[in-house]
């Protein structure tokens, strides 16, 4: 069984464990929506980075999907089998 070649000094050991309690400090706010964001990262609330829209947010994707679903489920004109529009779900 492999064993460490030499003892890890107190200084070396303590330097390693000094970083274990570290937490990311969020000090940057989004320029567009003022939500707290990590530096150099896209805002997940509005999908902007440096004032430019670069990402579709989760809610925008949900709205787009709902629109597609509405179009698919809408009754076709002249179709007599479905008299009432489908009920909303979710
Ligand atoms: Zn934002």
pLDDT in tens, 33-60: 999 998 899 999 999 999 899 999 998 9
- Gap from CA of 31 to ligand 1 centroid (Å): 7
- Gap from CA of 24 to ligand 1 centroid (Å): 19
Residues 6+ apart with CB under 8 A from 63: none
- Gap from CA of 51 to ligand 1 centroid (Å): 9
pTM over 0.75: no
Question: Do residues 68 and 74 lie in contact, with contact meaning Cβ atoms separated by under 8 Å?
Answer: no
Determine the average pLDDT of the residues in 14-27.
Answer: 83
């Amino acid at each position: 069984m492999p064993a460490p070649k030499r003892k890890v000094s107190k200084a070396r050991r303590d330097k390693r464990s000094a970083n274990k309690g570290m937490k990311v400090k969020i000090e940057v706010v989004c320029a567009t929506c003022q939500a707290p964001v990590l530096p150099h990262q896209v805002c997940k609330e509005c999908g902007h980075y440096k004032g430019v829209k670069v990402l579709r947010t989760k809610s925008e994707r949900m709205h787009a999907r709902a629109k597609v679903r509405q179009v698919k489920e809408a009754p076709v004109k002249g179709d007599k089998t479905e008299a009432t529009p489908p009920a909303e779900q979710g």
